[in-house]
């Protein structure tokens, strides 16, 4: 502060500095108006102190008995210094999962990249089945699943938060495994994500199975897939599976549920899964759901060995079915908040049905040999009553 300024000049300068402090704009994600306010307060205090000191020195001397007085020196007002604060990723809202790659398969891998990996032209494969539309459940793990199809093979890649994948699954997929009819599978943790891959490459000789060379080739292919996916910029996934599990539906007694379903169908059932119609299979995405999202399933078939079958799956996470699932329609199930169906006819009547209550999701596959038998909604209602303990 200049000691030669008059009181009015000091007041004008003080007002200008304070006004300028209020006009300071924050430049970081967390540097808001508090910085400007704090800076103004610091300047006001510093100026006020300087004005008080210089005013005392400049005031006319009061006629009193002279006495020695200390000499005050006005301290210079230091220039304020600020340290830029790096912008941080906003914390997710409670209960809202953050999915890797924003849930966008094209950010994970492009069609061209998959074509190069598989050695033939590939394109993304949309989910065709309502009951296997597991986007909402995977999201609770910060996860997503994407599939591509080519002339030579299919490829499915799953990315999840590394902290959300069951350690046993991580260990079991750490090296490549190949089996007839299922293709090959491998997965690995890379930084904050787990990347798993499965393809439908088959052994040249199906009867003898995969040779050591074929397994080695599959391992090299998956190494390239995992390295490419993990090297790409991705959203750090935030799983929320722990916040939705208490009190959620679980199928813990398939034998007890069987009696409820037989009361609806009027046909004896057996708990032997019908071949190919159980959601819980050796598909990698199903293994992730079962081990890490604790999805549970009961599967039945008609006891007389006819083609009748029922598969019931309970999973957390509810969302409107993906628009890519064809033939989906809204329906009504007693006890459910929302319900959707999808029907197929191929010498049998086959209905996929999804019913939702709160954060719980029931997926039901119903196959019969009589198209007139449309009991899927009643079966779903019986399951809801069962899991709710009524």
Which of 238, 239, 164 is CA-nearest to residue 194?
164
Q: What is the pLDDT of residue 222?
A: 96
| 198 inside domain | yes
Q: Which two tokens stand for residue 136?
A: 């909402």
- The alpha-helical segments, DSSP class H, found in the chain are 7-22, 33-58, 105-108, 111-118, 135-139, 167-172, 212-231, 254-265, 284-292, 376-387
What's the total number of domains in the chain? 3
Which of 321, 329, 272, 270 is CA-nearest to residue 131?
321
Same domain membership, residue 82 and residue 116: no
Same domain membership, residue 133 and residue 46: no
Same domain membership, residue 273 and residue 173: no
Same domain membership, residue 81 and residue 61: yes
Q: What is the pLDDT of residue 325?
A: 79
Same domain membership, residue 335 and residue 213: no
Helix (H, G, I), strand (E, B) or coil at 34: helix
Q: What is the pLDDT of residue 236?
A: 94
Interval 77-91: pLDDT, tens = 445 444 444 444 455
| 43 inside domain | yes
Last residue of a domain, one of 175, 196, 231: 231
Q: What is the pLDDT of residue 41?
A: 35
**CA angle in degrees (0–180, nearest 5) for 95-96-101:** 145
Residue 197 near residue 154 (C-beta atoms within 8 A): no
Domain containing residue 106: 100-231
CATH code for position 343: 2.60.120
Q: What is the pTM of this model?
A: 0.70
| 239 inside domain | no
Buried b (16+ CB within 10 A) or exposed e, 156-179: bbbbbbbebbbeebbeebeebbbe
Same domain membership, residue 132 and residue 80: no
Same domain membership, residue 168 and residue 57: no
**CA angle in degrees (0–180, nearest 5) for 303-304-308:** 75
| 78 inside domain | yes
Same domain membership, residue 82 and residue 130: no
Same domain membership, residue 383 and residue 272: yes
| 242 inside domain | no
| 208 inside domain | yes
Q: What is the pLDDT of residue 272?
A: 67
Spans in the chain with pLDDT lower than 50: 1-5, 8-75, 77-78, 80-89, 92, 274-279
Q: What is the pLDDT of residue 72?
A: 45
Interval 210-219: pLDDT, tens = 899 999 999 9
Give the Cα separation of 374 and 341 in Å (integer): 11
Residue 314 near residue 251 (C-beta atoms within 8 A): yes
| 364 inside domain | yes
């Amino acid at each position: 502060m200049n000691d030669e300024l008059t009181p009015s000049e000091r007041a004008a300068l003080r007002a200008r500095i304070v006004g300028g402090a209020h006009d300071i704009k924050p430049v970081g994600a967390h540097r808001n108006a508090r910085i400007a306010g704090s800076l103004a307060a610091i300047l006001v205090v510093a100026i006020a102190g300087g004005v008080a000191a210089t005013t005392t020195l400049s005031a006319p001397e009061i006629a009193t008995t002279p006495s020695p007085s200390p000499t005050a020196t006005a301290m210079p007002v230091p220039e304020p210094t600020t340290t830029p604060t790096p912008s941080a990723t906003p914390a997710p809202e409670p209960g809202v999962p953050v999915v890797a790659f924003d849930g966008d398969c094209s950010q994970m891998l492009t069609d061209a990249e998959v074509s190069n990996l598989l050695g033939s032209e590939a394109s993304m494969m949309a989910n065709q089945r309502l009951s296997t539309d597991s986007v909402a459940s995977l999201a609770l793990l910060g996860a997503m699943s994407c599939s591509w199809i080519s002339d030579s093979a299919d490829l499915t890649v799953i990315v999840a938060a590394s902290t959300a994948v069951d350690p046993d699954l991580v260990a079991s997929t750490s090296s490549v495994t190949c089996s007839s009819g299922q293709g090959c599978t491998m997965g690995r943790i890379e930084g904050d994500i787990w990347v798993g891959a499965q393809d439908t490459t088959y052994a040249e000789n199906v009867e003898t199975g995969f040779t050591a060379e074929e397994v080695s080739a599959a391992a090299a292919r998956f190494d390239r897939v995992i390295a490419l996916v993990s090297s790409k910029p991705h959203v750090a996934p935030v799983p929320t599976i722990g916040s939705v599990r208490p009190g959620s539906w679980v199928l813990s007694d398939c034998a007890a549920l069987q009696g409820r379903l037989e009361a609806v169908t009027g046909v004896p059932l057996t708990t032997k899964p019908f071949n190919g119609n159980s959601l819980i299979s050796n598909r990698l995405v199903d293994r992730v759901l079962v081990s890490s999202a604790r999805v549970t399933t009961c599967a039945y078939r008609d006891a007389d060995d006819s083609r009748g079958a029922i598969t019931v799956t309970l999973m957390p996470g509810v969302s409107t079915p993906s628009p890519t699932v064809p033939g989906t329609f809204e329906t009504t199930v007693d006890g459910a908040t929302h319900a959707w169906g999808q029907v197929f006819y191929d010498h049998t009547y086959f209905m996929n049905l999804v019913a939702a209550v709160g954060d719980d999701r029931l997926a039901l596959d119903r196959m019969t040999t009589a198209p007139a038998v449309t009991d899927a909604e009643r079966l779903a209602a019986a399951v809801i009553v069962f899991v709710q303990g009524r």
